[in-house]
Amino acid sequence: MGVKELLESGNAVLGLELGSTRIKAVLIDEAHNPIATGSYEWENQLINGIWTYDLDEAWKGVQACYQDLKNDVRDKYEVTLKKVKAIGISGMMHGYIPFNRNDELLVPFRTWRNTMTEEAVKELSELFEFNIPQRWSIAHLYQAILSGEEHVSEVTYMTTLAGYIHWKLTGKKVIGIGEASGMFPIDVDTKDYDARMLDKFGNIEKVKTFSWNIRDILPKVLVAGEAAGVLTEEGVRLLDISGELEAGIPMCPPEGDAGTGMVATNSVAVRTGNVSAGTSVFAMVVLENALNKVHEELDIVTTPAGDNVAMVHCNNCTTDLNAWVNLFGEFATCMGMQFDKNELYGNLYRKALEGDKDCGGLMAYNFYSGEHIAKVNEGRPMFVRTPSAKFNLANFMRTHLYASLASLKIGLNILLKEEQVKVDRIYGHGGLFKTRGVAQKILAAAFDAPVAVMEMAGEGGPWGMAILASYMVYKDEDEILGDFLNSRVFTDSKGDIMEPTPEDVAGFEAYMNIYTDVLEAERKAVETFKM
């Protein structure tokens, strides 16, 4: 059917993702092509030393994003959007959003960016014999217990950003398994929270003092394809302030941005992986076998279907790089130049390819916030060079592009070299890859593996979330997610594949050798350069 008929009959599918800098909605047709989009920009705030987003701002953003989508539909197709086939909600993974028995928020949303749970993760990782990252929900809860925070006794439910939005739209306290794996460890055999670890947590003496049980305050785990409730009348009022959207629309399990990235790049099968590079950066590799040992640099999460994934997550990627690009833009404006922002980014990124493979003696650290993998507790972006360095624009831009992936490389070395995990191909997506062939070339050097960037990768998470919603309503009875993606979504996918060159691989390795040696100076900057 034509797009207009599809929209009027309510057969389009909606995905909405609350990302770190933008809330974006994507509406797709029956062939999974985007037919309309909407967006809203927002930013995290550092309040009393905690990175957070105001949940009222989240709803303002969700409503503005959906209205922007409606306007796009009306302008393109002369249709008022009143009904869709299914809806999926995704958001930034991890973090801590606790509520009391009256469904009141107990403390401001603590995001993935916080590095304040070191004591908790040390104890829990030893207890579980499983790596618990600082940003995970269980780490935040236990740290609050260790710190004696009064609100803990009142907790009756905790969730993530995607889980929270889904709950308010449907009334269902559920979560997708990929998102759940960023709250508490998952047993991939039972497709639920690990029962042994739940028992261990409940038997901690400090935990026993509270009336709640950990099993009762976590959302229910669902796998991709399961029904997760419907949009209620109350949910309609939260999403579409005009009230024109119909209630009763099926909704799929809410997922994290890591899971939607895997779907959007068709990397849910064994020996595939993807790198999502935006405000943060993370690499996901679907595992053939369990890792040989526990590594604090590697997280074990799952695909939306519940298969084990090794994840290298870094808090910092493009924020400092964007700041430098904006500085160049400010200079251009000061000189009376007119330019398109995409052109500014493109020209500066492409200039980096002219630089020396090892960046010619320049070094940068992009730590806008703390970076656990580098053992840096607070953000101190830093640029340094030797007096004899080849200080030019090409090397400067190459250095900051390297820096955006350097902390990721620390984890990749453990995964690929020490654990000998095999990867057939990596898929890149996110804002860092918008300038064709630049970040892709650098990532291929970091992985020493082919990197593909598909034509649809720019749509990213919300498109992946829409596909998960489509999978719920359109899949055959026994059709697994990987088969659905291969046979229905990516049959005619187009993209560029870039192989690593020995020179680029050697150059990145040379840069990393200096990077790790000079990291102590970055840590010293945190210690001595106080805000």
| pLDDT (tens digit per residue) in 212-254 | 999 999 999 999 999 999 999 999 999 999 999 999 999 999 9
> Could you tell me the pTM of the whole model?
0.83
What is the C-alpha separation between 327 and 308, in angstroms, rounded? 42
Q: Which neighbouring-strand residues pair with 26?
A: 15, 37
Give yes or no for a contact between 416 and 522, defined as CB atoms under 8 angstroms apart.
Answer: no
Closest CA relative to residue 371, chosen from 402, 416, 404, 400: 404
pLDDT value at residue 424: 83
List C-alpha distances in Å: 158 to 1, 60, 214, 215.
42, 22, 10, 11
What is the C-alpha separation between 4 and 16, in angstroms, rounded? 21
Encode pLDDT of 103-132 as tens digits: 999 999 999 888 899 999 999 999 999 999
Residues 6+ apart with CB under 8 A from 63: 238, 239, 240, 241
Spatial strand order in the sheet of 86-91: 34-41, 22-28, 13-18, 86-91, 255-256
pLDDT value at residue 372: 86
The boundaries of every CATH 3.30.420.40 domain in the chain are 265-315+412-498
Q: Residue ranges of the chain with pLDDT lower than 50? A: none
> What number of residues does the chain have?
531
Closest CA relative to residue 442, chosen from 477, 392, 408, 479: 408
Task: Give the phi and the psi of residue 181 in degrees, each rounded to 5.
Answer: -70, -10
Task: Give the phi and the psi of residue 299 in degrees, each rounded to 5.
Answer: -100, 145
Decide: helix, strand or coil at residue 377.
Answer: coil
Which one-letter amino acid corresponds to residue 147? S
pLDDT value at residue 106: 98
What is the C-alpha separation between 423 and 443, in angstroms, rounded? 14
Give 3-state DSSP helix, strand, coil % of the chain, rounded to 5.
45, 20, 40
What is the C-alpha separation between 162 and 94, in angstroms, rounded? 10
List C-alpha distances in Å: 87 to 65, 228, 253.
14, 10, 9
Q: What is the Cα 36 distance to its own chain's centre? A: 22
* 431 CB-contact burial (10 Å; exposed 0-12 / middle 13-18 / buried 19+): buried
Fold of 265-315+412-498: Nucleotidyltransferase; domain 5 (3.30.420)
| DSSP 8-state symbol, 154 | G
